[in-house]
């Protein structure tokens, strides 16, 4: 509670914490969890669920013992004594989880933004339609060009033969040469065992604060992965806001020499820019079609999950995808608002403003 109070009330506390303390956890605990080939955070989540289920079941058993008079007195005493020990352990574990979440996540929401740190005074609050179009058309052109340079299989799917996780770390460290706060050690991002469940949530990646790991959905289509890996790694440098992680992931990808990473970077922001343009012209299709057209191949590459994977996921799912997605959206929305992100999940879209500032005000596109 004192840490939360300091973050909310003391200006600069979170910036000092990210600069001097947070890297300690990444370089010690993060290096330790990086030794495991699987996601430690995912395992911890599963154990947490099992422990919580056990706590609920034990409470039910205790309730029945209180209601049923035939239960032996000595049996009750042993049960309640054991339950007392269990719940004390459970309470300490819960407190530890809350502390780790505070240290590795919630404190980060009160720090200065990447935008303010590196582009302070260089951007504007508003941009007009023509300026939006300059950046939107530029990104569309880059996507169209790169789509024709991809190596593909007989089905037209993009093929990648390199080590994507290694390239993601390399791309982020290269970006760190320009923006110093992004430099230093990065653990390799890890695929999630329950990637099918992530697909049902329409989630591409997770940063697990309690294991200091960047995790990604291994079932989603290939072209989502480079930008997602870099996005999740950005959280490990203290940039917790999703729009800024989107922007940093984009910069890392387009700065890479790997063409697949470049294409993934541009694809990762294409929908945001294109949707904002469509909304800005009030859904006027004639006006929309008068600008740079997105090639059919780009549309085909810009998917979340291939149809055959969706068919398999929905066939094997224990819970309907619509229910899972709704629950996930509600949790994410509540979590963001609780941490001071007033516009919740809409904050992801703020990457458009960062792109306009970067291209128009910083680089003079």
pLDDT, tens digit (0-9, with 9 covering 90-100), for 281-311: 888 888 888 999 999 999 999 999 999 999 9
Whole-number percent of the chain with pLDDT over 70: 91
Query: pLDDT tens digits, residue range 255-276?
Result: 999 999 999 999 999 999 999 9
The secondary structure of residue 291, as a DSSP letter, is S
The tokens 């695929």 sit on which residue?
A: 191
Cβ neighbors of 327 (< 8 A, separation 6 or more) are none
The pLDDT mean for the chain works out to: 89
Q: Which residues have CB under 8 Å from 141's CB, separation 6+? A: 292
pLDDT tens digit sequence for 309-337:
999 998 888 888 878 777 766 766 666 56
The answer to whether residue 222 scores a pLDDT higher than 90 is: yes
Q: How far apart are CA 145 and CA 147, in angstroms?
A: 6
pLDDT of residue 70 exceeding 90: no
Tell me the pLDDT band of 347, cut-offs 50, 70 and 90: very low
For 227-287, the DSSP string reads: HHHHHHHHHTTT---HHHHHHHHHHHHHHSS-HHHHHHHHHHHHHHHHHHHHHHTTT-HHH
């Amino acid at each position: 509670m004192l840490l939360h109070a300091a973050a909310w009330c003391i200006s600069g506390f979170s910036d000092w914490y990210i600069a001097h303390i947070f890297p300690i956890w990444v370089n010690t605990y993060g290096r330790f969890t990086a030794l495991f080939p699987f996601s430690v955070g995912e395992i911890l989540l599963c154990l947490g669920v099992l422990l919580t289920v056990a706590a609920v079941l034990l409470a039910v058993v205790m309730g029945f013992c209180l209601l049923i008079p035939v239960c032996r007195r000595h049996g009750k005493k042993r049960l309640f004594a054991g339950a007392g020990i269990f719940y004390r352990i459970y309470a300490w574990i819960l407190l530890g989880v809350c502390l780790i979440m505070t240290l590795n996540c919630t404190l980060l929401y009160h720090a200065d933004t990447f935008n303010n740190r590196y582009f302070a005074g260089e951007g504007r609050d508003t941009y007009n339609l023509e300026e939006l179009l300059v950046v939107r058309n530029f990104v569309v052109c880059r996507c169209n060009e790169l789509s024709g340079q991809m190596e593909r299989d007989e089905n037209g799917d993009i093929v990648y033969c390199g080590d994507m996780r290694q390239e993601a770390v390399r791309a982020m460290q290269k970006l760190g040469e320009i923006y110093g706060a992004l430099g230093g050690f990065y653990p390799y991002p890890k695929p999630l065992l329950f990637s099918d469940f992530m697909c049902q949530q329409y989630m591409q990646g997770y940063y697990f604060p309690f294991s200091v790991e960047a995790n990604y959905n291994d079932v989603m289509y290939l072209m989502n992965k480079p930008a997602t890996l870099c996005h999740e790694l950005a959280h490990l440098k203290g940039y917790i806001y999703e729009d800024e992680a989107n922007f940093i992931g984009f910069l890392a990808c387009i700065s890479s020499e790997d063409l697949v990473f470049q294409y993934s970077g541009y694809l990762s922001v294409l929908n945001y820019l294109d949707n904002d343009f469509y909304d800005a012209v009030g859904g006027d299709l004639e006006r929309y079609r008068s600008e740079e057209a997105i090639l059919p191949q780009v549309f085909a590459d810009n998917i979340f999950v291939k149809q055959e994977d969706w068919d398999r996921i929905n066939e094997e799912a224990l819970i309907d995808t619509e229910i899972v997605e709704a629950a996930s959206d509600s949790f994410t929305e509540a979590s963001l608002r609780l941490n001071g992100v007033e516009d919740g999940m809409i904050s992801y879209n703020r990457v458009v403003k960062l792109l306009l500032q970067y291209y128009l005000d910083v680089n003079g596109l």
